[in-house]
Amino acid sequence: MTDLSLGIDIGGTFTDIVIYEPDTARRLIWKEPTTPDDPARGAIIGTKRLIDSSGIDPATIGRVVHATTLFTNALIERKGAKTGLITTAGFRDVLEIARERKYELYDLFIEMPEPLVRRSWRREVPERMAETGVVEQPLDEAALAEHAADLVAQGVDSIAVVFLHSYANSAHEAAAASFIRKTYPDISVSASHELAPEIREYERSSTTVANAYIKPLAERYLESLARQIRELDIPGPFFLMLSNGGLTHIEEAKESPVRLLESGPAAGALAGSFFGARSNDSEVLAFDMGGTTAKLSLIRDGDPSIAYSFEAARTKRFADGSGLPLKISTIELIEIGAGGGSIAAIDELDLLKVGPRSSGAVPGPACYGKGGTAPTVTDADLLLGYLNAEFFLGGEMTIDLDAAEASMQPVMDRTGLSLAEVAWGIHDVVCENMASAARVEIAQRGEDPRDYALLATGGAGPVHAYNLARKLNLRRLICPSAAGVGSTIGLLMAPARVDRAASLVGRVDSLDWERAEALFTSLEDDAKQVLRETGADLDKLQLRRSADMRYLGQGSEIVVALQPGPYSADAADEICKRFEDRYRQLFTRTRPGVPIQIVNLRVALSAPVTDATLEMGMVRDAQPGMEKGARPVYFAEADGFVDTPVYDRYKVPAGYEITGPAVFEENESTFVIGPDAVCTADASGNLIVTLPVDES
């Protein structure tokens, strides 16, 4: 019987692999070092090792779910395909003109994102479509054929087709894409009306070009990985995590890989939502920290926030406008260059900086013994007593404590600080980097951090969660079981989801409601077909409608959740009320008497692909050997090292209360709490920590 689920999440340092059996709640977990030269190789090696060591029959694996950062890295590192662009005459330079806006106004040496398509491979074709969808100039098929042939002769592997106002009428764009596909079947083609049929030429062009740039890589990678999984005699279907936190099938992923750019981080947010709900926490700050990056996501009312635009490959990490804008739906995330492999150094001002440079999987932190010599966060955590050199990855990985100490020497020499002071400084600085990003994100939403519980996942998340929670003045901290592979568990719980959008510009008080309803229905039918192909349970379908709306004359929109359809003119008052409520929530006041305009229509459809509830099999009674011993652990509030009890996480029973300091070890991660914390294991398997807060 094929009832097992296999999750594979490829991170920057480790590839996490989980096999889960819903009927028995059995979890099989493996962390394999990521192989940057060929990420699929590490994933397959780890999967085979897990299958062989557990003795399970591969034929019982009923589905495979995968998340990867490979495509994001290809954009950042500019390692995508040779890409051409065919566009409307006069619009060749849209990618460089962009919005004619500097993200830092007074920077004379500002670095703008380099276009993914060189100018000589951007070609103009005479054609013109009005914004109403009326043909003003027919498509010049001879020019199209000439430019396509020349681009192919010059060696491009992928072509993006972006014509003016194709969101209003896609006839020209569809004809051009069809011609190229039929004439050059080995060339990947991406058309904007298939990816982002929305207004704004630059964002639509940028999204389509990015998809074209990574599409050949996605096709090769996904086909190769799927083939190698089949060669392991795993029969189940292959699903991919999307940036919006939903699953899709492999063919859809190969066609629009741009929608997978944030697949790994999205899985971490889903894990935060899932584990928070198990402890009745609907307001959660999901914190996922691995070997390369840390991600934070706000979970409100039990669901991660969804955004409908995203910036990739920023030239300046935290500067809006410094990256490539993409019209994709994605879970809203704060990403920080802070992971276990983040490198510490003293800058030109003699200040300690940690990240964003990372030792990655190769060579890794110094303590891994793979050639790394720079001091990293993992090295510091080891020296502070947070990690156990004898129990790293459950004892599967050999750790070099002497190498960790040696890596700190240059910083000690430069600063005159002791080994413990340098290690604590690295740990504290990386926590402050994350806390600062979280404060800004929460403040921008006008909310109080103390209303949230911090939920930690990832290999490094539980190590840093206590210090991070104290910096944010949070009352409650949650660490779930198997936190080290939390993102992979998030993969296994994700529903299938499809987001679709289309432009329809008009005032609400005079909108063509028949056309709007027909457009909504068309988007929903298209999304349902994709869900059907994933094998999702459409009897449990959830459908949400929304719209991008603004006051007439404004240059930007807000996304407003709409009431269920169908719509007619009678729906206008409720839609306007919803817009004004949302506008008031964001900006505190509305604009009386100004007409309200709809710009884009959106639908989001989701349905479960499994009935798994992911019970963790939590122990109910105290187990022999629950206390493994004690070791010195550094806590700043105690002014140094404190002899701290160490617990076997797997043996802590539900209802058991422990006063800090304490260390909880499991194979994939270590959870650390300080002297002012009280920890209780709840019935779901989560460790719940209560912290004192400053009420001032």
334-346 pLDDT per residue, tens: 877 788 888 999 9
pTM for this structure? 0.87
Of 3, 15, 128, the closest CA to residue 61 belongs to 3
Top pLDDT among 57 and 617 is at 57
Long-range contacts made by residues 136-145, C-beta under 8 angstroms, separation at least 24?
Answer: 139/172, 139/175, 139/176, 141/175, 141/179, 144/86, 144/176, 144/179, 145/179, 145/183
Residue 229 has pLDDT above 60, yes or no: yes
Tokens encoding 550: 């603004």
Are 458 and 425 in contact, with CB atoms under 8 Å apart?
no
Residue 534 has pLDDT above 90, yes or no: no
- Residue 407, CA distances (Å) to 14, 377, 403 in order: 22, 11, 6
Euclidean distance between CA atoms 547 and 505, whole angstroms: 11
Of 401, 44, 57, the closest CA to residue 228 belongs to 44
Of 118, 172, 175, 184, the closest CA to residue 148 belongs to 184
Residue 422 has pLDDT above 70, yes or no: yes
Residue 622 has pLDDT above 70, yes or no: no
Coil, helix or strand for 418?
Answer: coil
- Residue 484, CA distances (Å) to 473, 494, 508, 571 in order: 24, 18, 49, 47
pLDDT the model gives residue 620: 54
Are 541 and 606 in contact, with CB atoms under 8 Å apart?
yes
Stated length of the chain: 696
Are 187 and 152 in contact, with CB atoms under 8 Å apart?
yes
Residue 435 exposure: Cα atoms within 13 Å on the Cβ side? 17
Residue 641 has pLDDT above 90, yes or no: yes
- pLDDT tens digits, one per residue of 657-675: 999 899 999 988 999 999 9
pLDDT the model gives residue 1: 44
Residue 567 has pLDDT above 80, yes or no: yes
Residue 405 has pLDDT above 90, yes or no: yes
216-225, 242-251, 410-419, 487-496: least confidently modelled range:
487-496
- pLDDT tens digits, one per residue of 581-593: 999 988 889 999 9
Cis peptide before 624 (omega within 30 of 0): no
Are 538 and 605 in contact, with CB atoms under 8 Å apart?
no
Euclidean distance between CA atoms 342 and 111, whole angstroms: 24
Only one residue has tokens 């009935």, namely 611
Residue 375 has pLDDT above 60, yes or no: yes
Q: Tell me the domain boundaries of the chain.
A: 4-75+220-260, 81-213, 342-428, 498-607
Are 372 and 301 in contact, with CB atoms under 8 Å apart?
no
Are 358 and 342 in contact, with CB atoms under 8 Å apart?
yes
616 pLDDT band (50/70/90 cuts)?
Answer: low
- pLDDT tens digits, one per residue of 135-184: 999 999 999 999 999 999 999 999 999 999 999 999 999 999 999 999 99
Euclidean distance between CA atoms 459 and 14, whole angstroms: 9
Tokens encoding 102: 């500097």
Domain 4-75+220-260 has CATH 3.90.800.10: no
* Main-chain phi, psi angles of 433, to 5 degrees: -60, -45
Residue 527 has pLDDT above 90, yes or no: yes
Are 342 and 430 in contact, with CB atoms under 8 Å apart?
yes
462 pLDDT band (50/70/90 cuts)?
Answer: very high
Only one residue has tokens 């090295």, namely 379
Could you give the percent of the chain with pLDDT greater than 90? 60
Top pLDDT among 403 and 693 is at 403
- pLDDT tens digits, one per residue of 281-328: 888 999 999 888 888 888 888 888 888 888 887 777 667 788 899 999
Tokens encoding 472: 């944010």
CATH architecture for residues 498-607: 2-Layer Sandwich (3.30)
Q: Averaged over 45-56, what is the pLDDT?
A: 92
Euclidean distance between CA atoms 448 and 359, whole angstroms: 35
Q: How many CB atoms lie within 10 A of CB 183?
A: 13
- pLDDT tens digits, one per residue of 463-478: 999 999 999 999 999 9
126 pLDDT band (50/70/90 cuts)?
Answer: very high
- Beta strands (DSSP E) in 216-340 are 238-241, 247-249, 284-289, 294-300, 303-304, 306-307, 310-312, 324-326, 330-331, 334-336
The b-or-e profile of 23-34 (16+ CB within 10 A means b, else e) is eeeebbbbbbbb
Residue 618 has pLDDT above 70, yes or no: no
The b-or-e profile of 132-164 (16+ CB within 10 A means b, else e) is eeeeeeebbeebbeebbeebbeeebbbbbbbbb
Euclidean distance between CA atoms 189 and 76, whole angstroms: 21
The single-letter code of the amino acid at 190 is S
Euclidean distance between CA atoms 237 and 455, whole angstroms: 31
Only one residue has tokens 């299958």, namely 51
Residue 619 has pLDDT above 60, yes or no: no
Are 535 and 253 in contact, with CB atoms under 8 Å apart?
no
Mean pLDDT of the chain: 90
Euclidean distance between CA atoms 502 and 609, whole angstroms: 26
pLDDT the model gives residue 384: 96
Of 334, 270, 262, 268, the closest CA to residue 302 belongs to 270
pLDDT the model gives residue 415: 92
Residue 451 has pLDDT above 90, yes or no: no
Coil, helix or strand for 657?
Answer: strand
Could you give the percent of the chain with pLDDT greater than 70? 96
CA 608-612-617 angle, to 5 degrees, is 155
Of 55, 327, 370, the closest CA to residue 207 belongs to 327
Name residue 304's beta-bridge partners. 299
Query: What are the residues whose beta carbons fall under 8 Å from the beta carbon of 573, sequence distance 6 or more?
Result: none
The b-or-e profile of 41-77 (16+ CB within 10 A means b, else e) is bbbbbbbbebbeeeebebeebbbbbbbbbbbbbbbee
